[in-house]
Each structure stands twice: as structure tokens, then as C-alpha cells.
Structure 1
Amino acid sequence: MAATAALEAAGDHQLAEITVEEPLDLVRLCIDEKIYVKMRNDRELTGVLYAYDQHLNMILGGVVEVITVTEIDPETYEEIYKETKREIPMLFVRGDGVILISPPTRGS
């Protein structure tokens, strides 16, 4: 059974009918678009999706990687979150580490 999704075209605000038959069809719609990928071990990627396969192996370009590390303050026992960012021109992402794929929020 095919589901139909209506998407708003970015430039001219027209509605287009898109048929989605399986989850990877939604990923296909993001080719050449900026996406957000949540990975295992508190890693997050934002970049342009160039290619993917059925295992969610992906090739991303213009990637910003954010790694979040949680440390415990030894005196107050409070959690301290530290983020490390780096930019990567082209990246191969192995699909078994992917938790979530999403278009980035409009503010990103």
C-alpha cells in the first residue's frame, strides 16, 4: 500500500504529490539536500547527501560533525557537556552507526 505525502516546493511554494512506498523513499527525496544524521556515541552530522544504499551507508559533503562528551565534575558531581566541532569536506558514513536521518530544522 503506497502512502502519499504532500511537500511544499522550496522556491515557488507549490504543493507536489510524492508517493512513498518504503522508508528509503524518504531518504531518496533528500539527495542533493542538506540533512541531519544522528550517530551512535553522541555524534551528530549535518551535510549534503550525495549517495546512499540500502544499509544507510552514505556519502555526505560539506559535513559539520559535532561530538558531545559528558563529564562529571568531581567536586559538585554535576554533568558538564562539552562539544567538539569539525568540518569535513567529504565523508563516507557507515550505515550501522546511523540512528536517525532528518532534514535539518529551518534555522540551521
Structure 2
Amino acid sequence: MVDDTGQKQTPNTLEEPLDLNRLSLDEQIYVNMRNDREFQGRLHACDQHLNTILGDVEETVTTIEIDEETYGEMHTSTKWNTSMLFGQEDGFVLVAPSLRVG
């Protein structure tokens, strides 16, 4: 494949930020949402608007409460699994691919 400048592109070339999602198809990714939710799952599909379909998903919801006696923060995490999840871009804070070695 050749780009507009005449240079050869390989399938693993990153030209735009969303190319990283294309390279992460069928791999584990991490998604942090605005509402104190986190998802880890296998990326099945993603469009140019960052609408995303994940499979084999582990969802983590973190709640923070203030101890009335010490005024310290108490963090509680709840996790559960689901087979398929559709996420819309308006709630995403961070999408990160799995770590690649080699």
C-alpha cells in the first residue's frame, strides 16, 4: 500500500490516533469511563466515533465514601463479568491497548 507522499505503508503503520484501535482488534484493551467504571475486554469492533464492542468483559465500579468519624476516603470496588458490551465514545476517558512485547 502506498500513501499520498508515495511512501510504502505497512499494515502496522500508525498514521492517526484511531489506528491504534484498528491494530488492537481481537486483543485485550482497557477502557476507563467518566462514571468511575473501568472495563477490560477483547476488542471486537470500533468505529471512527469510538463506539466500541468488547467481548469477555470484566467491569469494575469504584465507589468512594467518606468515613464520618475520620473523614478518610474509603474506596470500594465491585467487579463482574459480561460476555458482550457496547460502549459509546461520550463516556470514554481513556482507551489503552494491551502491552505488546517483542
Map 1:41-80 to 2 at 5 A: 41-80=35-74
* TM-score normalized by the length of structure 1: 0.79
User: Which digits, 9 at most, give the CA deviation of each residue in 1:9-48, with x for residues without a partner?
Assistant: xxxxxxx983111001111000000100011111100000
* Alignment-mate amino acid for residue 88 of structure 1: T
* TM-score normalized by the length of structure 2: 0.83
Residue 46 of structure 1 contacts residue 104 of structure 1 at CA under 8 Å; is this kept in 2? no
Higher relative contact order (CA 8 A, sep 6+): 2
Structure of greater Rg: 2
Residue number in structure 1 paired with 2:92: 98
Q: Quick check: which one's strand share is greater? A: 1
Residue number in structure 2 paired with 1:31: 25
Q: Distance in 1 between matches of 2:84 and 2:20?
A: 22
Residue 49 of structure 1 contacts residue 58 of structure 1 at CA under 8 Å; is this kept in 2? yes
Residue number in structure 1 paired with 2:75: 81
| Percent of aligned positions that are identical | 55
* Alignment-mate amino acid for residue 79 of structure 1: E
Unpaired segments ≥5 residues, structure 1: 3-15
Residue number in structure 2 paired with 1:8: none
| CA RMSD after TM alignment | 2.1
Give the drift of 1:104.
Answer: 3.6
Residue 61 of structure 2 contacts residue 78 of structure 2 at CA under 8 Å; is this kept in 1? yes
Aligned pairs, number? 93
Residue number in structure 2 paired with 1:19: 13
